[in-house]
């Protein structure tokens, strides 16, 4: 099983971060423009006093080895379901792939640590697991590489968005 952590500094306070994180327009631009997804949409988002839930669907641009693409297919998509605990300020999510859903697992948590008044450290702990005989390790390493690159790009995009939209 692949388990790893990615951290980035985001140039805003926690309140601003979560406001942007849950902004539908920002998310659709992030995934399409910043991450190059051919398709991405926030399907639903609901807020209660104790939690925010969101369901999104996307078709990522994949850069994976041939054997991995054979398993995933050319029309690979996923659905992400996430839940933000208002009290703990932790986002948990699970991705369900369109192919081999019973053999692939991607899920994790996202939390923030303040760094001064106008900066946070975004910490994502990710589980990336593939239980497919013979190529599970290749799928995990390729998936981790793609996920790390995506999180890196999202941090750059979010910081640029904040700089351009700061008041």
pLDDT-derived band at 167 (thresholds 50, 70, 90) equals: low
- CB 13 within 8 Å of CB 21: no
Mean pLDDT for 130-152 is 92
With bands split at pLDDT 50, 70 and 90, how would you rate the model's confidence at 41?
very high
Q: Give the pLDDT confidence score for residue 1 in this predicted structure.
A: 58
Pairing of strands 39-47, 2-10: unpaired
What are the pLDDT digits (tens) for 56-76?
Answer: 999 998 888 888 888 888 889
The runs of H, that is alpha helices, within the chain are 14-21, 24-29, 66-72, 136-165
Q: Residue 75's closest CA among 86, 61, 55, 95?
A: 61
120 vs 69, residue with greater confidence: 120
Secondary structure class of 17 (helix, strand, coil): helix
pLDDT per position as a tens digit, 71-102: 888 889 999 999 999 999 999 999 999 999 99
- Left, alpha or beta for 110 (phi > 0: left; psi -120 to 50: alpha)? beta
Q: Could you report how far apart the first and last alpha carbons of the chain are, in Å?
A: 44
pLDDT for residue 2: 84
Cα 49 to chain centroid distance, Å, stands at: 24
Give residue 71's pLDDT: 80
């Amino acid at each position: 099983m692949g388990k790893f952590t990615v951290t980035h500094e985001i140039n805003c306070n926690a309140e601003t971060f979560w406001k942007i994180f849950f902004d539908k327009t920002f998310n659709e631009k992030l995934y399409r423009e910043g991450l190059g997804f051919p398709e991405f949409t926030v399907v639903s988002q609901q807020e209660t006093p104790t939690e925010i839930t969101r369901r999104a669907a996307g078709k990522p641009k994949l850069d994976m080895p041939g054997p991995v693409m054979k398993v995933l297919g050319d029309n690979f998509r996923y659905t992400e379901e996430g839940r933000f605990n208002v009290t703990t300020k932790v986002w948990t999510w699970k991705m369900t792939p369109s192919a081999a859903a019973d053999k692939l697992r991607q899920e994790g948590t996202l939390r923030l640590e303040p760094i001064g008044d106008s900066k946070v450290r975004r910490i994502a702990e990710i589980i990336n697991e593939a239980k497919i005989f013979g190529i599970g390790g290749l799928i995990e390493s390729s998936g981790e590489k793609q996920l790390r690159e995506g999180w890196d790009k999202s941090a750059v995009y979010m910081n640029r968005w904040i700089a351009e939209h700061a008041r």
